[in-house]
Amino acid sequence: GWDVTREMLTFVPGIVRGQAFALQCFTNPGDRVIVMTPVYHPFFLVTQRMKREVVYSPLDLKDGQYQIDFERFRKDIQGCKVLILCNPHNPGGRVWTVDELRRIADICTESHTFVISDEIHADLTLPPYKHHPFATVSGAAAQNSLTFMAPSKTFNMPGLGSSYAIILNEDIRHRFQEFMEAGEFSEGHMLAYIGAAAAYMHGEEWLEQLLDYIKGNIDFTENYLREHIPGIGMIRPQASYLIYLDCRGLGLTQEELVRLFVDQAHLALNDGTMFGEPGKGFMRLNIGCPRSVLEQALKQLETAVADK
């Protein structure tokens, strides 16, 4: 748990918008903003549209999971005003450890880099893994960060636009709140508040059942690929309902890979390159669906791969 008081919270009408507001508040056009790729694409798209310079620091894929090369990250972050962190990671589904988050915090403190931590998938962390909010891992992290959270992914309610920022540093919090209030962005509609409260207060049993079902879908996908489509592997997610499919074993170009999924398998997955250059050879699959739908999709993919 995280002992958060009401005073630490600021309403935002969606996390992507919140990131845009935070960049406006804490950076200027031309400032450098670093992201760890592959990563959720609005991190760099919003940054680019706001005329900030994006610095791409690639993650390493080792032993079936994404890892941070801290020596490279330390070099890449020099001169960067902000790090946008994905915790847990999307699309890789990685749950960062306390040690990893502390090392990130220490490096960001040394380089005078402010951390915006997107933790929208936190509640979907799968046992036995444990989510650690970035701001809780050290004093340095607490005083040099802004954390975004929301019930939208957890309870499938993004349409309500109910998100919030948690800021422990009072000076930073007041600065962000003043910015939000100046543009009248700090208040949501009534359903945003009521829906979030209802989900958090009464959704625990449903969430526990959901996590069990997601784990079952992950197991099903992993077994199906191994038995029927050995040319495609997967990064087993430690959080969320998104699976990053490793299709490099098919030997296709990215254009050919997309055509295989869309034109032959008739599946609308996310092209891995939308998450950055390291996404070549990958596709992102959403398994947050009935198992019958997932099974049908995998059968269509199996047929398409066999016929290629």
Which CATH topology does 205-307 take? Aspartate Aminotransferase, domain 1 (3.90.1150)
Residue 189: its pLDDT value, please? 86
Helix axes 204-228, 291-307, angle to 10 degrees: 20
Could you count the other beta carbons within 10 Å of the beta carbon of residue 256?
11
pLDDT at residue 187, rounded to an integer: 82
Asked if 85 and 117 count as a contact pair (C-beta separation under 8 A), the reply is yes
In Å, how far from its chain's centre is CA 239? 10
Spell out where the chain has E strands.
9-12, 32-37, 53-58, 60-62, 65-67, 80-86, 114-118, 145-149, 163-166, 233-235, 242-246, 270-271, 282-286
- Whether 178 and 170 have beta carbons less than 8 Å apart is answered as no
Nearest of 53, 127, 110, 120 to residue 88 by alpha carbon: 120
Residue-level pLDDT, tens digit, the chain, 308 residues:
789 999 999 999 999 999 999 999 999 999 999 999 999 999 999 999 999 999 999 999 999 999 999 999 999 999 999 999 999 999 999 999 999 999 999 999 999 999 999 999 999 999 999 999 999 999 999 999 999 999 999 999 999 989 999 999 999 999 999 999 998 888 888 999 999 999 999 999 999 999 999 999 999 999 999 999 999 999 999 999 999 999 999 999 999 999 999 999 999 999 999 999 999 999 999 999 999 999 999 999 999 999 98
pLDDT at 308: 80
Q: Could you give the maximum distance between any two Cα atoms of the chain, in Å? A: 60
pLDDT value, residue 268: 97
CATH, domain range 6-202 = 3.40.640.10
Residues 6 or more apart in contact with residue 24 via CB below 8 angstroms: 50, 179
| Domain boundary assignment for the chain | 6-202, 205-307
